Structure 1
């Protein structure tokens, strides 16, 4: 008996069944949401539970949560990773708790000079500003440089002028004053703590009770992965307390404090001079891209094995294109938070042995 016709009929039936199944399979794949994720930091440094009251800790956790929620809402609605980064950082720039925007530290002249940067990974576009003094939200100025100019970095009065031409909100430099940061400057200088802030017209937050003179890098940053698979990074800072001569740290330097490509997005916080020398953000992304390392492994090598032996303190947040992340730091603590690809939301402040939240900085 010739079984070939039967075999051909069976094969034809299987092929027809496969073709009929393709639309259903495609529909299933289309209905499955693409992974989204968001990680943030609010600076690293000497952050110890013993030096922070429960009320102060709650204030920081609340603003970190608001920042996470703002950025994640953008991603969940199908928005771009850059928009999510911007929404996240705006919350922290508008809070007096962080060294960015409203809570920026004082320079040696008793003024404020602010830096910020943004970068999108899929097209390698970037924009940054340094030493601006009048833009209410520096992260918006950095984005305007990226999208509305032919340049990558603008500095000083020129950057302020450019921001004004873009219709960004401008403020008097005293807008950034807070009593907390003024006390930091006075302690660093060894001056009487009752010395009044000169010319301030701002309603100032009271100075927190914990040690204000400790080493803290209050830079804020965010990295995001959107439904299109695109990564973005952003960083904003007031720089270093008592800085002089127009000093600029790593935050606005593309490849040092801020970087994104198709594989990786990084925002850093720490002793900027060392982060610039190492090229921290780019170094991490290069290890991921060329060595195939996970975000956790790449971040650990750069932060622990490279920066720490240099006695360079700080940390990074890293996000990969598959949603794996790392929150790595070599300081006693780092304000940090994440919403991973499963929608799990976590916030932490202190080191892993001193924080009730099990957010260790390892990849998910």
Structure 2
């Protein structure tokens, strides 16, 4: 499906945000509303900046920083835990104007991974730094760091316990905790031969096009609950979880291994570039055809100010705003 519509305009800014694809239908309404309030706050932040003439790359970094600071979703504070009970975060950012990018993985102390990814892009000769090399670069750049415990929440400690009891990699770490929970109750499904529960929000992202038609994208995540230490997903992989070029910007969320195989974000851009598809049709095709049996979603903007989203699972936390006053925050189809 392609939600959020496609607002064809000759000029004007637009922004979209997401808090993960695949939402437990039984998620309590209070948690749904809390997530929607956070998305609205991020849209307000980004919209005001774009209206004031800010660049798309500055806006996506600022919005994802806001998402990383709030524990509602799985990025920064509130990140999913590894099997060892620690946090390993990853993020990427891309400026479509010159196709410049920066990415980081395996972060354990950097408060805002997306900003370190921006520094990799702006202040290093590289595009991607990981684990101790990324942490060392962070120290050299003087970014804010905190103890790993800062990122760990009580809810995620409880979900890690459930994951270990079920011998599962939990995707849906936001399902309310229960005193006892069997594999059947968790709704475990296979992913790459591994047990995996029903899908829920897990990654955050933002895409924007500014008044000059420049596109940018940023994505940040803590990964999968109970993942193996050292696992790297799609979010920091340019072309898979994040991509931006002269035509569009894309941020993906969902089953990372499926997104990696599909090079999903780049595929949307390629469909526009080589097949001449408009944004919404490119998003629809990529979601329907490229994911095989994987579950995922994405948000996208075009240089014309169009906005589109797509997902093939139960829902996606998402929202968008445009310069002509359109605004929406949604979860379900």
- Of 29, 34, 39, 1:54 maps to 29
1:263 paired to 2:247: yes
Give SS of 2:207's match: strand
Q: Which residue is equivalent to 1:23?
A: none
Q: Which residue is equivalent to 1:126?
A: 101
1:242 paired to 2:226: yes
Give SS of 1:286's match: helix
Deviates most, 211-220 or 58-67: 211-220
- Of 234, 238, 243, 1:254 maps to 238
Question: Within 1, Cα distance between the matches of 2:221 and 2:205?
Answer: 9
- Of 209, 213, 216, 2:200 maps to 216
1:289 paired to 2:277: no
Counterpart mapping for 1:164-313 below 5 A: 164-190=139-165, 208=176, 214-307=198-291, 310-313=292-295
State the 4+ residue runs in structure 1 displaced beyond 6 angstroms: none
CA shift in 2, pair 1:106/1:245, >3 Å: closer
Give SS of 1:102's match: coil
What is the TM-score of this pair, normalised by structure 2?
Answer: 0.87
Offset at 1:270? Answer: 1.2
Kept in 2: contact 1:222–1:233 (CA 8 A): yes
Q: Which residue is equivalent to 2:324?
A: 342
Question: Within 2, Cα distance between the matches of 1:67 and 1:323?
Answer: 18
Offset at 1:209? Answer: 5.6
Question: Within 2, Cα distance between the matches of 1:316 and 1:52?
Answer: 21
Counterpart mapping for 1:99-118 below 5 A: 99-118=74-93
Give SS of 1:64's match: helix
Give SS of 2:143's match: coil
Q: Which has the larger radius of gyration?
A: 1
Give SS of 2:331's match: strand
After superposition, the C-alpha distances for 1:115-162 in whole angstroms (9 at most, x for unaligned) are: 000001110100000111110010001000000100000000110110
Q: Which residue is equivalent to 2:300?
A: 318
Gaps of 5+ in 2: 1-9, 167-173, 179-184, 187-196
Counterpart mapping for 1:29-68 below 5 A: 34-48=11-25, 51-68=26-43
Query: What's the Cα RMSD here?
Result: 1.9
Offset at 1:208? Answer: 4.3
Q: Which residue is equivalent to 2:3?
A: none
Gaps of 5+ in 1: 1-32, 192-205, 353-364
Offset at 1:281? Answer: 0.6
Kept in 1: contact 2:204–2:219 (CA 8 A): yes
1:150 paired to 2:125: yes
Question: Within 1, Cα distance between the matches of 2:138 and 2:324?
Answer: 38
Question: Within 2, Cα distance between the matches of 1:110 and 1:238?
Answer: 12
Counterpart mapping for 1:135-146 below 5 A: 135-146=110-121
Kept in 2: contact 1:99–1:238 (CA 8 A): yes
Give SS of 1:38's match: strand
Kept in 2: contact 1:180–1:207 (CA 8 A): no
Offset at 1:321? Answer: 0.7
After superposition, the C-alpha distances for 1:62-85 in whole angstroms (9 at most, x for unaligned) are: 111111111111101100001110
Kept in 2: contact 1:47–1:349 (CA 8 A): no
Q: Specify which structure has the higher proportion of helix.
A: 1
Offset at 1:165? Answer: 1.2
Deviates most, 331-340 or 179-188: 179-188
